[in-house]
Amino acid sequence: MPKNKTVFEDCDVLVVGGGMAGTGATFEARHWGRNLKIICVEKANIDRSGAVAQGLYAINCYMGMQWGENQPEDHVRYARNDLMGLVREDLGYDMARHVDSTVHMFDEWGLPMMKNKETGRYQREGKWQIMIHGESYKPIVAEAAKKSADKIYNRIMITHLLKDEENENRVAGAVGFNMRTGDYHVFKAKAVIIAAGGASHIFKPRAVGEGMGRTWYAPWSNGSAYALPIAAGAKMTQMENRIVLCRFKDGYGPVGAYFLHLKTYTQNANGENYEKKWYDATKKLVGEYIDHHPTPTCLRNHAFIQEVAAGGGPIHMVTKEAFQDPHLETVGWENFLGMTVGQAVVWASQNIDPKYTNPELTTSEPYVMGSHATCSGAWVSGPEDIAPDDYFWGYNRMMSVEGLFGAGDTVGGSAHKFSSGSFTEGRLAAKAAVKYIEDKKANNIKVSEKQYNDLKEVIYKPLENYTVGRNEITGGTVSPSYISPIQGLQRLQKIMDEYCGGITNNYMTNDNLLKKALELLDWLQEDLENVGAEDYHQLMRAWELKHRALTSQCVTEHTLFREETRWPGYYYRGDHMKLDDENWHCLTVSRRDPETGKFTMEKKPVYHIVDDKEKKKAS
Amino acid sequence: MSTFVYMTRCDGCGHCVDICPSDIMHIDKNIRRAKNIEPNFCWECYSCVKACPNHAIDVRGYADFAPMGHSVRVRREEEKGTISWKIKFRNGTEKDFVSPITTKPWGKFIPKLADGDKPNQGEINSQILYNEPHGLNTDKDLPTLDKNSFKKGVYY
């Protein structure tokens, strides 16, 4: 047994992860659960953690119902269209009807919102986006969580969930370790809300040297959002729906404000509009989806990828016209400084002044997450007033494991929620978790000493692997007995890249490649028993890797199951290149058996909010 | 880019260690100053740069793709509620920007919900969240849908 001190905490609501969703959950839980003990556990420091750590220059999900700008069903149609028909419309509607109240709170709390001088309304960047000076977005929402929580634990990585001894399908808390002290932390809880991050770095990134960390999504988003529920036997959905981003080259600086507010546009190396060149070929793959407005994100990527493969690159963003306006020039730069400083560094280093040079764009490596133009995540219950029966089992945002809730990247099917929607989803999950406790659904939970002591052995094993293995060799990084976290990570990235639709294969995969990926991932899983960590920092990297590897297995199983190319531009099934609405207009759902590690797959129906106009069109 | 620390400016206070989201700023036991122990896990988020009271931390663009000779410096001033940036290109071009970071004194307008009005009886069973429907600013109830408007099938 490792000698590390064990610290116990008994609580009612445990929030795992203190990013946008976790701060929302922690904040709201207090309103409904006045006398409950509410704990939030964060891997980093809640003041600067999660995807919004460095800030945001826009809130990408705001209805503007107070001015009649949009209604929740409009947002559902938008998300449905962008994801090629497949989203959980009950979850999307539910998020959208509440999101404005979240944004209004941010405004009251001091988040600087830009205003339209003529109308006095929030300054729109696009139909759904509003512009902010959001450098301190995260510290502001962190403050709200701190005021609600009984305690916030920073620098603790949660590695496993605890299960009730009497009911193996009920959650009982979570365990992890403090990467500074090495202490082992056992959190017993009545309800657990997973609000951890999606997954960067499961596919090989374009930058592989010192710049490896300059991924689009934060390098600290290591897929705990998925690995924790998957390992506990919770059902997952749409895990094949990874996202590829079209962004400014190397820095992955955002393009939203450029397209929508600055009205810049893209062209190929010869100054041509390449998107229309690929219209007919794309129509053969996806049919009328290419005629939808706005063009789905994946299909715009598709045109980009085809054009580059055909030799039309590099693709440029035409900025020279817009940047002649000093106001727009300022917006263009501050957009980066507020959320992706690295892009400003790339441009400064390469003398790229968009006033005089049209900057280059690229398509990124794939990411798995649930809050952007993609919706991978856990299969959760919808809200009781609107969710169809197939989508409802008692508590909003509760997974298929009792007492286990999700929000933000964790929740599958609710795309396009972004920062404000993730915070909102945290609020929804928190209210439901409190109701679950008040309904006495969490009584008599039992956790044995054996359960958490066994996990303690497992968690610290990488330290022992290293200590023992290191004595065999004179020095260096090559051992016959262990691999380091970075070595394991690069192996994972190579498998996913080459077999599961990464950049070097131009996002292409097929049945044979995916089966090979599963074989290689199984061996990787076995070898991860032998990952070696020199210190607690590396122990964190080891567990991040294990979470990424489990997420990757699930992604690969889903990608194998869906025998069509639903989202060309995100990935291609070369053996099934066409979109197939007849067989695959459905949600994919998986469950991994915690005992055997085997995945089972099933199809679940898609329910659309349908009005008469749409009925006519479909018939 | 990745962060690095100037030897003569760092006094080992550990603010950067405390804030780094990637846990890569650590205090070197021998020199008792901070250093970036894992540059390839740096997201260049500038959290450490902003937190350093001595302006000892700077950034040098990632070696893979950033030519040298540039700099992007920042000063974040909570009391003034602003953040100021100076961008210097490799060719010497300079650009300066200042943005607000908050409109209110820090934390003063964020409610402590434990002290606020308790939810009314039955609200736990409704669909509303804290401060709703009032906080939607619509003078209407929270929107809802008839369950029957959900249909199976392929609709565009």
Check whether A520 has a pLDDT greater than 90.
Answer: yes
pLDDT digits (tens, 9 = 90+) for A574-606: 999 999 999 999 999 999 999 999 999 999 999
pTM: 0.98
Check whether A615 has a pLDDT greater than 60.
Answer: no
pLDDT digits (tens, 9 = 90+) for A123-171: 999 999 999 999 999 999 999 999 999 999 999 999 999 999 999 999 9
Q: Which two tokens stand for residue B105?
A: 């004194």
Q: How near does any CA of chain A get to the CA of B34, in Å?
A: 15
pLDDT digits (tens, 9 = 90+) for B116-125: 999 998 999 9
Instruction: Give the residues across from B100 on adjacent strands.
Output: B82
Contact assessment for residue A377 and residue A238, using Cβ atoms and an 8 Å cutoff: yes
A42 touches chain B (CB under 8 A): no
Quick one: CA dihedral A287, A289, A295, A299, positive or negative? Answer: negative
pLDDT digits (tens, 9 = 90+) for A395-442: 999 999 999 999 999 999 999 999 999 999 999 999 999 999 999 999
Those of residues 551-570 in A touching chain B at CB distance below 8 A are none
Above pLDDT 90, what percent of chain A? 98
A425 touches chain B (CB under 8 A): no
Chain B nearest-CA residue for A580: B154
Spell out the domain ranges in chain A: 246-363, 461-578
A601 touches chain B (CB under 8 A): no
pLDDT digits (tens, 9 = 90+) for B17-50: 999 999 999 999 999 999 999 999 999 999 999 9
Collect all residues of chain A within an 8 Å Cβ-Cβ radius of residue B87.
333, 344, 348
Among the partner residues B19, B104, B155, nearest to A614 by beta-carbon distance: B155
Overall size of chain B counted in residues: 156
Contact assessment for residue A380 and residue A398, using Cβ atoms and an 8 Å cutoff: yes
**Half-sphere exposure (Cβ direction) of A431: Cα atoms closer than 13 Å:** 23
Collect all residues of chain A within an 8 Å Cβ-Cβ radius of residue B100.
112, 133
Q: How near does any CA of chain B get to the CA of A423, in Å?
A: 12
Mean pLDDT of the residues in chain A: 97
The predicted model gives B47-76 an average pLDDT of 96
Residue A522: count other Cβ atoms within 10 Å of its Cβ. Answer: 12
User: In angstroms, rounded to a whole number, what is the distance separating the alpha carbons of residues B12 and A391?
Assistant: 53
Residue A596: count other Cβ atoms within 10 Å of its Cβ. Answer: 7
pLDDT digits (tens, 9 = 90+) for A294-346: 999 999 999 999 999 999 999 999 999 999 999 999 999 999 999 999 999 99
Mutation pick from B38, B72, B89, B132 vs chain A, by most beta carbons of A within 10 Å, is B72
Mean pLDDT of the residues in chain B: 95
Of A490, A510, A527, which Cα lies nearest the Cα of A565? A510
Among the partner residues A330, A431, A617, nearest to B97 by beta-carbon distance: A330
User: In angstroms, rounded to a whole number, what is the distance separating the alpha carbons of residues A507 and A574?
Assistant: 10
Q: What is the pLDDT of residue A617?
A: 55
Chain B nearest-CA residue for A206: B64
Q: Which two tokens stand for residue B80?
A: 């003034």
Among the partner residues A44, A135, A147, nearest to B21 by beta-carbon distance: A44
Q: What are phi and psi of A393, to 5 degrees?
A: -140, 45
CB spacing of B119 vs A48 below 8 angstroms:
no
| More confident: A616 or A480 | A480
Q: Tell me B72's DSSP state.
A: E
Among the partner residues A110, A147, A585, nearest to B154 by beta-carbon distance: A585
CB spacing of B150 vs A250 below 8 angstroms:
no
A72 touches chain B (CB under 8 A): yes
pLDDT digits (tens, 9 = 90+) for A63-115: 999 999 999 999 999 999 999 999 999 999 999 999 999 999 999 999 999 99
Q: Tell me A67's DSSP state.
A: G
Catalytic residues of B, by residue number, are 43
Q: Which two tokens stand for residue A41?
A: 């556990």
Those of residues 283-322 in A touching chain B at CB distance below 8 A are 288-289, 292
Check whether A614 has a pLDDT greater than 70.
Answer: no
Contacts of B139 (CB under 8 A, 6+ apart): none
A62 touches chain B (CB under 8 A): no
Above pLDDT 70, what percent of chain B? 99
Check whether A184 has a pLDDT greater than 80.
Answer: yes
CB spacing of A383 vs B23 below 8 angstroms:
no
Of A566, A138, A232, which Cα lies nearest the Cα of A376? A566
Q: Tell me A410's DSSP state.
A: G
Check whether B109 has a pLDDT greater than 90.
Answer: yes
Among the partner residues B22, B64, B100, nearest to A133 by beta-carbon distance: B100
Q: How near does any CA of chain A get to the CA of B54, in Å?
A: 19
Q: Does the domain made of A246-363 have the CATH classification 3.90.700.10? A: yes
Those of residues 491-530 in A touching chain B at CB distance below 8 A are none
Q: Between β-strands B57-60 and B2-5, what pairing exists: parallel, antiparallel or unpaired? A: antiparallel
Collect all residues of chain A within an 8 Å Cβ-Cβ radius of residue B41.
212-213, 219-220
Collect all residues of chain B within an 8 Å Cβ-Cβ radius of residue A213.
2, 22, 39-44
Q: How near does any CA of chain B get to the CA of A581, in Å?
A: 7
The 10 Å CB-count burial string (b at 16+, else e) for A38-59 is bbbbbbbbbbbbbbbbbbbbbb
Q: Which two tokens stand for residue A249?
A: 């080259």
Q: Domains, chain B, ranges and CATH? A: 2-100 (3.30.70.20)
Check whether A255 has a pLDDT greater than 80.
Answer: yes
Those of residues 91-110 in A touching chain B at CB distance below 8 A are 93-94, 97-98, 100-101, 104-105, 108-110
Among the partner residues A49, A135, A213, nearest to B42 by beta-carbon distance: A213
A461-578: CATH topology: Methane Monooxygenase Hydroxylase; Chain G, domain 1 (1.20.58)
Quick one: CA dihedral A455, A456, A457, A462, positive or negative? Answer: positive
With cut-offs at 50, 70 and 90, classify the pLDDT of residue B156.
Answer: low
Count CB pairs under 8 A between chains A and B.
Answer: 297
Q: How near does any CA of chain B get to the CA of A221, in Å?
A: 9
The CA-based angle A117-A60-A500, given to 5 degrees, is 155
CB spacing of B67 vs A350 below 8 angstroms:
yes
Least confident range of A41-55, A599-613, B137-151: A599-613
With cut-offs at 50, 70 and 90, classify the pLDDT of residue A619.
Answer: very low
Q: What is the pLDDT of residue A392?
A: 97
Mutation pick from A12, A37, A105, A346 vs chain B, by most beta carbons of B within 10 Å, is A346
CA of A146: how far to CAs of A22, A141, A453, B56, B99, in Å? 11, 9, 30, 29, 26
User: In angstroms, rounded to a whole number, what is the distance separating the alpha carbons of residues A425 and A430?
Assistant: 8
User: In angstroms, rounded to a whole number, what is the distance separating the alpha carbons of residues B46 and B67?
Assistant: 19
User: In angstroms, rounded to a whole number, what is the distance separating the alpha carbons of residues A599 and A307?
Assistant: 37
